[in-house]
Every structure is written in C-alpha cells, then in structure tokens.
Structure 1
Amino acid sequence: MRSAAIDGLRVIGIVAIVAGHVWSDQSNDIARMGLYTWHVPVFFFLSGYLWANERTLGVEFRKRVRTLLVPYVAWLLAIGAVYGTYLWANGQALQVGNVLLGGSYMGAPFFAFWFVTALFGACLLLRALQRFPVWLPWAVAGAGLTVAYLAPDALTAVPFSLGVAVPAVIFILAGISFRRIAPRLKSRGWVSVALLAGSAALIVTGLSQPLDMKQGDFGTPVVSVVVASAISAGLVLLFQRVFASIRPRVAGAVTRAATVGLAVVLTHSAFILLFSAFPIDLPAVVVFLIVLVVSWTLAYFISRMPLGSVFTGSAATPARRPSDR
C-alpha cells in the first residue's frame, strides 16, 4: 500500500526538478535558492524514511534494478536513438562515450539521468553497510561529504555519479532517523512550520547555499546538508497533515502521477531541449507548463502499454490515507 502524502511529496519534488532545469540557464537566483537545496535531496530522504531494515542486499539490488536501472536503460536507448538520429541528420554525432559514462559526463538531453544511478548506488551502499555498527554508515557518508567539500571533481569523475552516491547516503540516513522520531513528535504542524521557516531564513540570509549534487556541490559545509534534511522532514510532516483527510479519488490520482514520475524525470530534459530549438522564444513559464503536461501525459500513456513498467519502473498500487507511511 502506498501513502498519498508521500506520493504527493514525490510529485511536488518532480515538479521542482523540472522547474529547476527550465530556469537553470537564466541564472535565476530565486529558483536556485528556492529549489536546489531540497528538490533532489528529498528523494534520498524519502528512500530513508521508507527504508525496510529487514531487506537483504540481494533483494535491494533486484528491487533497485527493476525500479531504477531498467527505466534508465529503456529511456537512454529511446531518447538516444531519437536524438542521435537528429544529430546525424544535421551532420553531428552523439557523444556516445560520455553517454555511456553517465553521471556528470552526460549533457543534453540526459541532464537528470545522473540522479537514477546516484540513488541506486547510495541505496546499495547503505544496504551493504547495514550489517556493520550503526556509526559506520555515518562515517562513510561523512567521509564522502569531506571529499565533496575539498575535491568535488574527484566525486564527479566517477562514472554514473557513483562518487556522489557516497555523500548522498547522508540524506538516506537522515530519513531513517527522522522516521524513528516522527511518531514521538507533538504538534506536528508547528514542527513543520518551524523546520521550513527556519530553513528558509538560513537560505535567504545566505548562510545556507544551494546544493548542486550532480556537480559534487553540497553547499555550505554541514549547514546546507542540515537545511536540506530539515526541509525534507518539514515537507513530510506538512504533506501528511494536508493529505490526512484527502478523498480517495484524489489520493488515487496523486498516486498514479507518482508511479509514472520517474519517466517524467528522465524525459523532461529532452522536451526542454526541443522547445529551446523552436524559432519562437517562448516564456519560461509557458515552457515549464508545457513540459510538465507533455512529460506526464507521455509517461501515463506509456504506463498503460504492455511493457509500461519497463519505462516507469513501477506498477500502480492502491493509495491509502494514514499519515505515517
């Protein structure tokens, strides 16, 4: 059973990722300040919040292959074939070597693909470390963060963003920790407000700089990681409160949107690139709305096809309203 609240947060996170890419080339400080600190970390945080301690490394590997790597490969081949044909028709060539290396090596239209392999690597790393003392995963993630602060290029040089996966484990651990303390929180609404408002204050004052995990940039040392985790926790509490009394029909719609969300993450950059080639200079907000609608519509229709799960990584399951999961 899925949680409509968590699925709602996933949907908002995907919308934020699309918005970040639409406005990224315009040096929009407001977009960077408002989105980049949390819109990727929140997915790692949610992986921790929903972490199943009893799962073995083998089960984790098979699950992540099915839900992450299979859609990654499927869309890589589909988009690569179309884009490669377009480049060939215009006397250019697809940089196959960079595409195969993944991660930060990939340019347009594969901007968001790094996220999939980084999440895959982070989940597998933490699962492998789970059998050791509790402090070891934190130490490994902390060491990764230290490298990110001192030599980010060393992380991004690792293919498939697997170097970035090491410090990214910190957000999964934060999600696991928050799940343990969340049931004991009183006045969850006020806690959510405090976490979000306090984080916003640190961002606006410049004390917490935005993250750009793809580039190995984890913002202001320690502070940005704490702020990203606090925002993620605050959003979880906020969405649980908002969705506590949601109607089943709305919950189902949110879950359907979330189950095909990975396809939106992997395809939206291609549509942004397509619109950038238009002879008409469309306003960014128009591009943003069109890309969202087209990407999600495509993802939905593909999910209805016999091999739809290959491109979405998930089969639709019923949503439920309880706020704890």
Structure 2
Amino acid sequence: MIPIRAPMPTPVPPLHRRQPALDVLKGIGIVAVVVGHISFNRALVAQIFMFHMPLFFLVGGALHDPATPQRAYLLAKARSLLLPYGCFLLILWPLELLLAVPDHSAGGRWTWTLLGAPLLFGGQRLTGFASVFWFVTCYFLTQQLVHLLLRRSRLPVCAAVGGLMLVLAWLLPELALPWGAQVVLVSAPLYLIGYAARQVDLARWLPVSVLLTGAALLLNVAGVANTFDLKAGQFGVPVVTLASALAVVAVLAVLAARIHASVAGRVLAALGGASMTIMFLHQLVQLTMAKQLGVMAAAPRVLAALLLCYLAHVLISSSPLASRLLLGRRPRAPATGVAP
C-alpha cells in the first residue's frame, strides 16, 4: 500500500517580493495620512497617529536592497527624493507665505526668517502647504544611514545601533535639527525592523498581531498617549507605542495581501503608487478648500485631496520633464531600434 502524503503547504513569498500587497499597504498608509490631517475626530486621529508614519519606514525597510554601492545609492536617492522635494518646496512654500503674509508686513524679516530659513532648514520650520515635507528629508537621511549600516555591519550590530538610537530618542524628545534629522533616531530603527522582518510570514503571527492591536487601540481609548507625532518629537510611550505600531502595520500588511486583487485593493494600490505625490500636494488641496473656499467638512476635503493629487500624479507622469523634476524619475533612454 502506497502511503498518502499530506500536501506540502504553499510557501508564502517574502514580504519584499509581494509588490502588489505593498502598494496596497502604502495606499492604506497615505489614506491614513490624509485623514489624519483633516479629520475632526480626535479619537480617530489618535489611532491613526499610532501607526501611519511608521508604516512608510517599515515598508521602505522591507524593500531595501543593500547591494548598491553607497555613492550610487546616495545619488539615486538624491534624484528620487531630494530633487522633487526641492522643486515642490520652491513652488509651495513661497505660495504659502503669499497667502499667509500677503502684505509682507514682516518687512525685511520676510526674506530670511519666513522664506530663507525654512527653505534651508526644512523640518519643523515648514508648516501649512509644506508641513509634511519633513518626511521626505528624514526618509532620505534614514535610507542613507541604514544603507551604510547594512553594508558595513552584520544585522545584530545594526540592531544594537537601532536600540541605542531609540533610547536616545526617548531621552531627547525636544531635540530639533535641520531637515527633521532628529526623527532618524526613531525612523532608522523602524526601517531596520522592516528590513529584518521582510522574510517573516506575518499571516502566521496574525492572532498575536490582532491581540496586540486591540490592546493598543484600547490604550488610546483609555486616554493614554499611545501615539507618534514624529515631526513634533513626540514618540509615545517607550516600547509600548513602538510595539503598537508594529502590531497594527502587521495586521494591515496581512489585510493588504488578502485584498490586493479586489477592486478596493486596486484602488488602494493606485493611491500607494502615487503616495509621494499625494504626500507633497494633499495639504495644498485640503487647506485651500478650507481657507479659500470655505469647505470645512472633512469628507469632501479627504476625497478631493486623494482624487486631485492622484490626477496630478498621472498628469506629471505623462511629461518626461515633469516626472524627472517632480517624481525623481530617470529620463528614458531614446530608442535605438536594436533589440536588447
């Protein structure tokens, strides 16, 4: 009699190879960012701030490839992050000032204090239309630091450095540096965790993640400040808020993997693919609706910000020059008629 073998379980692909699911996850993240900046529901905003920015650093770590030489990596990320940052900032920050200080009542201070210093130092000095631009420079610095660590050190050493950075972040919450560099003390450990966890089958840990997520949500409901406000240097309850963010993102990652082929998944994936453009432009849309058009209701501002910013992303993508300057994409090589 031939023994019957149980079927082998289908292997779960590593997280960094599930690009459609990661696009959905980024879509969930960017929707959370927009809602978090617009919603009047303080309880909802508290829950969103627990995970929405850590999500992007975790996803970045999951996608990271340390094989690229440091100089080439620096140049590539300067093109894809700093070039769009500079272009959008030069457009939106003067516009913000013209609307905020239309009569130039600050006199000579208008030039440096209100215009020059924020353009140069960024980070916490940027408000209004450019209030979220700190993320881009912080993300750039995080990637460069982690790339250097991963190329020169083993993962346990990187973990020790990340742990030390978290301790410093909790000890120095009032630290303020140009480009939001102080946030790197938290964002780099998050990025490293994303890199280390990219081979983990998150579905196997779903019951634990759901349990921890429920506990984290209850802490906020109970009034515990279990949230991150990375730009402001508010890093929540040491260890607890970090664990809360990891649990929520793990649950959302499993959800993203399960819905990526659905209509909702495809919509979220499209928004995820445009997440950086939405990051740059959503404050312009929603604040203009509120301050200039008098639209105060949250729902239409959220929908308009997502839709108009996505359409702007599509429009920018259609122009080689605009996509190079505002999306940081490489110019396409001209066709030679020779098969590769």
Q: TM-score, normalised by structure 1?
A: 0.83
The counterpart of 1:5, out of the listed 21, 24, 27, is 21
Query: 2:97, 2:56 → 1: CA distance?
Result: 30
Instruction: Kindly report which structure 2 residues correspond to 1:237-316, keeping only aligned pairs within 5 A, or say none.
Output: 237-243=254-260, 245-246=261-262, 251=266, 255-278=269-292, 280-309=294-323, 310-314=325-329
Partner of 1:57: 70
Tell me which amino acid in the other structure corresponds to 2:67: E
Q: Cα distance 1:143–1:63, how it changes in 2: closer, same or farther (>3 A)?
A: same
Q: Cα distance 1:295–1:98, how it changes in 2: closer, same or farther (>3 A)?
A: same
Tell me which amino acid in the other structure corresponds to 1:11: G
Tell me which amino acid in the other structure corresponds to 1:289: L
The counterpart of 1:124, out of the listed 121, 144, 156, is 144
Tell me which amino acid in the other structure corresponds to 2:61: G
Q: TM-score, normalised by structure 2?
A: 0.80
Name which of structure 1's ranges 61-70 and 111-120 shifts more when overlaid on structure 2: 61-70
Deviation per residue, 1:224-246 (Å, 9 max, x gap)? 01111121122112211222x54
Quote the sequence identity (%): 28
Partner of 1:214: 231
Query: 1:262, 1:140 → 2: CA distance?
Result: 28
Query: 1:254, 1:212 → 2: CA distance?
Result: 24
Tell me which amino acid in the other structure corresponds to 1:17: V
1:233 aligns with 2:250: yes
Tell me which amino acid in the other structure corresponds to 1:301: L
Tell me which amino acid in the other structure corresponds to 1:311: L
Higher Cα radius of gyration: 2
1:112 aligns with 2:132: yes
- Runs of 4+ in structure 1 deviating by more than 6 angstroms, as ranges, are none
Instruction: Kindly report which structure 2 residues correspond to 1:133-282, keeping only aligned pairs within 5 A, or say none.
Output: 133-154=154-175, 157-182=176-201, 187=204, 190=207, 193-206=210-223, 209-243=226-260, 245-246=261-262, 251=266, 255-278=269-292, 280-282=294-296
Native 8 Å contact 1:148 1:217 kept in 2:
no
Stretches of structure 1 that go unaligned for 5 or more consecutive residues are 316-325
1:72 aligns with 2:89: no
Tell me which amino acid in the other structure corresponds to 1:111: S
Q: Cα distance 1:274–1:262, how it changes in 2: closer, same or farther (>3 A)?
A: same
| Matched position secondary structure for 1:52 | coil
Q: Cα distance 1:224–1:305, how it changes in 2: closer, same or farther (>3 A)?
A: same
Native 8 Å contact 2:210 2:247 kept in 1:
no
Name which of structure 1's ranges 185-194 and 302-311 shifts more when overlaid on structure 2: 185-194
Deviation per residue, 1:280-317 (Å, 9 max, x gap)? 353122222222222222222122112232212358xx
| Matched position secondary structure for 1:54 | coil
Tell me which amino acid in the other structure corresponds to 2:320: P
